[in-house]
């Protein structure tokens, strides 16, 4: 064998040994935390991420979804802290649930900031999204891609909601966020914080009147079966999802595997976004039509009706803007206006 060929073979063998050694240092399983599993778009996108990574790394990196925030005993607001601490390896997390630790993420919960899906994209795929990734990266967590849980729509078992007056006294389940409490209090409702696991039995017993969640959850959770027969499409806020990896876990991966994990997250994020928007926007309203066919009364706000809700929550918007960061909110408003 010629010397050049020998050197090439030795180099190839050496790289193989290094690669095998590095793979041997990887965990047998990496835990992905999510609040919601399959068949919801949230869970489906996490599974898609795991499948793509496993396939493209030839099994070097095995990721498994743990839904229901079970890695933090069901307390979804503690998820981000657990990622920082290394208790959780990876997550597809909600901007709402992580906002207690990252105040800037309350941006997406500002009432009636984003009028449509184009507005969400203008934020996540523009300078706002870049800035938020910088904030997350400063906290020992590596953000990779955006996903989406969707616009949160309002349902209840009492009556159709077309104006803020229709919400007076309604007991509405909300997530554990002070901004949500402020918003629903301003609208005259009685916001009640509880986990999603506790919420569904509460709907069935009429202990709680209603909830706000994306249409995909309304359908997959079969909420009409627990009395949620009035649905208002008001798009008052949206909940982007973020694919992240604990910093120490990320740094343990080879550059090649980092590239694979990042690209797979981006692909899985787009997959989940498409899945969540299908049938509820544009020319395809098949999901909404199906909800109507099941006997649910669906209200779509007119521009005039929507303005009443905007006006009713304007003080909440003003109160929270400095808490989130005036510059960030201004940047978001500019991005939406220019899309």
Domains and CATH numbers, the chain: 27-149+240-277 (3.40.190.170), 153-237+281-332 (3.40.190.170)
Whole-model pTM?
0.89
Token representation of residue 181: 């409490």
Residues 6 and 11: their CA atoms lie apart, in Å, by 9
Residue 113's pLDDT is 97
pLDDT (tens digit, 9 = 90+) per residue, 100-151? 999 999 999 999 999 999 999 999 999 999 999 999 999 999 999 999 999 9
Residue 24's pLDDT is 57
pLDDT (tens digit, 9 = 90+) per residue, 12-71? 445 444 444 455 589 999 999 999 889 889 999 999 999 999 999 999 999 999 999 899
Report yes or no: 67 and 43 within 8 Å, Cβ to Cβ.
yes
User: 63 to each of 31, 116, 179, 245, 315, how far by Cα in Å?
Assistant: 6, 33, 33, 11, 44
pLDDT (tens digit, 9 = 90+) per residue, 298-320? 999 999 999 999 999 999 999 99
Half-sphere exposure of 337 (CA within 13 A, CB side): 6
Residue 22's pLDDT is 55
Q: If you count them, how many residues does the chain have?
A: 339
pLDDT (tens digit, 9 = 90+) per residue, 221-271? 899 999 999 999 999 999 999 999 999 999 999 999 999 999 999 999 999
**Residue carrying the six token digits 């929550």:** 313
Report yes or no: 237 and 110 within 8 Å, Cβ to Cβ.
yes
Q: Buried (b) or exposed (e) across 9-18, using 16+ Cβ within 10 A? A: eeeeeeeeee
Helices (H) and strands (E) in the chain, counts: 15, 11
Residue 15's pLDDT is 47
Please report which residue ranges of the chain form alpha helices under DSSP H: 3-24, 41-56, 79-85, 95-98, 117-124, 127-137, 178-186, 196-204, 215-220, 247-252, 255-277, 286-293, 303-312, 314-324, 326-337
Token representation of residue 119: 């507005």
3-class secondary-structure state, position 214: coil
């Amino acid at each position: 064998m010629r010397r050049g060929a020998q050197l090439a073979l030795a180099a190839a063998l050496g790289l193989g040994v290094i690669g095998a050694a590095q793979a041997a240092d990887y965990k047998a399983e990496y835990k992905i935390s999510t609040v919601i599993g399959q068949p919801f778009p949230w869970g489906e996108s996490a599974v898609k991420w795991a499948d793509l990574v496993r396939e493209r790394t030839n099994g070097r990196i095995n990721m498994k979804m743990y839904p229901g925030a079970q890695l933090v005993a069901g307390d979804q607001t503690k998820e981000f802290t657990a990622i920082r601490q290394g208790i959780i390896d990876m997550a597809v997390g909600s901007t709402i649930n992580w906002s207690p630790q990252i105040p800037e993420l309350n941006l997406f919960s500002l009432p009636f900031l984003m009028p449509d899906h184009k507005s969400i994209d203008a934020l996540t795929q523009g300078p706002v999204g870049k800035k938020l990734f910088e904030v997350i990266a400063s906290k020992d967590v590596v953000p990779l891609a955006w996903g989406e849980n969707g616009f949160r729509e309002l349902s209840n078992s009492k009556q159709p909601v077309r104006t803020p007056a229709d919400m007076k006294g309604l007991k509405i389940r909300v997530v554990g966020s002070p901004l949500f409490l402020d918003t629903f209090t301003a609208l005259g409702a009685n916001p009640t914080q509880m986990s999603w696991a506790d919420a569904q039995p509460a709907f069935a017993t009429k202990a709680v009147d209603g909830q706000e969640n994306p249409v995909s959850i309304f359908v997959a959770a079969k909420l009409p079966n627990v009395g949620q027969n009035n649905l208002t499409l008001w798009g008052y806020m949206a909940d982007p999802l973020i694919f992240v990896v604990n910093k120490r876990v990320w740094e343990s991966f080879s550059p090649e595997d980092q590239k694979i994990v990042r690209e797979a997250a981006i692909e899985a994020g787009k997959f989940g976004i498409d899945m969540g928007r299908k049938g509820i926007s544009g020319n395809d309203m098949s999901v909404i039509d199906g909800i109507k066919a099941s006997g649910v009364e669906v209200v779509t706000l007119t521009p005039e009706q929507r303005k009443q809700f905007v006006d009713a929550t304007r003080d909440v918007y003003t109160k929270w803007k400095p808490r989130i960061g005036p510059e960030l909110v201004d940047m978001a408003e500019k991005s939406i206006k220019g899309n």
